[in-house]
A and B are shown apart, each in its own frame.
Chain A
């Protein structure tokens, strides 16, 4: 029965990870551990400061947040961190940009099964649901009814398209449940958007970004958004006013997406944290694909590889002149 299977798998991996992190505390390899704890049946990120606090540690299908975002907040401390595929790539990118020190980190990897879309489940089953997870199937209990669904169906779009669910960089690895299949849903959606008319594309873009309330949750959730002073907060020069016009929202989106181009690992933390559910992934997905196509660079796969914008090639395409 899926019920037990799901429950067991989740508990098993959580327990394995917990014992590993407890060992890190015992061996003084970590002063704090960044992981997830339970909150209303689903997990939320938490920083554990002692072995006792680890009691509430959990890893499940809702642990979608990229934990490497928190690394810079604890500079100079010894950190144990839990990583999925995307998190590990972000850490490589941060190391490459000199934002964290390798010696401070103990990286514990887990095979990511793909993260479940919380908002979709909420809209279908109401806000009070319980999910029991298996590698292939999930069982959702809500309103005194239990439904069995295919896991892949309920993953985030960027998780469905994810090519690197297994950590590429780690000190320890825990065998979790592996992702069953990959379908480039994001890529095919980008392609279909690309095929549409220019006016239609602009209309879509305008409609999406006019929803923005400029709360900057996407910036806060993003591991690669770490400027000491963001251009939107700068008072001198003051790039953006406090007005609420469409162009200002669009400038924000353009510049943020552009800054992440070729550095983003498509972890989807920005999308997951956006209160207005703006389609953030299609633009950044397109940028990443362009960088890969034009300059052959994908972030966070090889330590030591130079990010696309910090280097150049005299033979770069020049099809841009007037």
Chain B
């Protein structure tokens, strides 16, 4: 598939207090951003279980984008600090076994940063487009399983 025709599916796990509100602001301000992003709202970026990322990728997402409050601005005080530690190690693990680390993204966007959300959404989509489809870590369809086994 040509990169230009490729429309990635991106799962966005946004924190309720900052990034989700940032996305909302981008919406209200009529800022256009790529429609490749599917948003799931979570209470905090610290709520992100790495299993969610794996499950998202397995179920067909080409990338998972996690966004939370800026370090120091967490609604719960320290959730994003924990998230940062966990997710950076998680990404290192994926990269170590040869999976594309570009498929896991993390950013900090506050509730007042609508334009920044638009910018980040564009950047994430572009970089996922350049990596291409997620073929390594994806559930096989029934046809594929019948054809070449599990």
Q: Are B108 and A321 in contact (CB under 8 A)?
A: yes
* Chain B residues with CB below 8 A from A251, complex form: 51, 54-55, 58
Interface string of B98-121 (1 = CB under 8 A from A): 111000011110000000000010
Size of the chain B interface, CB-CB below 8 angstroms = 42
The residue on A at minimum CB distance from B51 is: A255
* Chain A residues with CB below 8 A from B105, complex form: 322
* Chain B residues with CB below 8 A from A322, complex form: 65, 105-107, 120, 123-124, 127
* Chain B residues with CB below 8 A from A245, complex form: 139-140, 145, 150
* Chain B residues with CB below 8 A from A257, complex form: 93
Q: How many contacts A-B (CB < 8 Å)? A: 101
Interface string of B69-105 (1 = CB under 8 A from A): 0011000001001101111111111101111100001
Among A205, A244, A318, contact of B150 (Cβ-Cβ < 8 Å): A244
Q: How far is the CA of A313 from the CA of B84 in the complex (A)?
A: 10
Q: How far is the CA of A245 from the CA of B58 in the complex (A)?
A: 11
A202 in contact with B120 given A290-B89, A322-B65 (CB within 8 Å): no
Q: Are B150 and A314 in contact (CB under 8 A)?
A: no
Residue in B92, B98, B100, B124 with the greatest tally of chain A CB atoms within 10 Å: B98
Residues of A at the B interface (CB closer than 8 Å) are: 194, 198-205, 231, 239, 243-248, 250-251, 254-255, 257-258, 261, 283, 286-287, 290-291, 294-295, 308-309, 312-314, 316-322
Residues of B at the A interface (CB closer than 8 Å) are: 50-51, 54-55, 58, 65, 71-72, 78, 81-82, 84-94, 96-100, 105-108, 120, 123-124, 127, 136-140, 145, 150
Q: Could you list some 12 contacts between A and B, CB below 8 A?
A: A198-B100, A201-B97, A203-B98, A239-B51, A247-B140, A254-B93, A255-B54, A308-B85, A312-B84, A314-B72, A320-B88, A320-B91
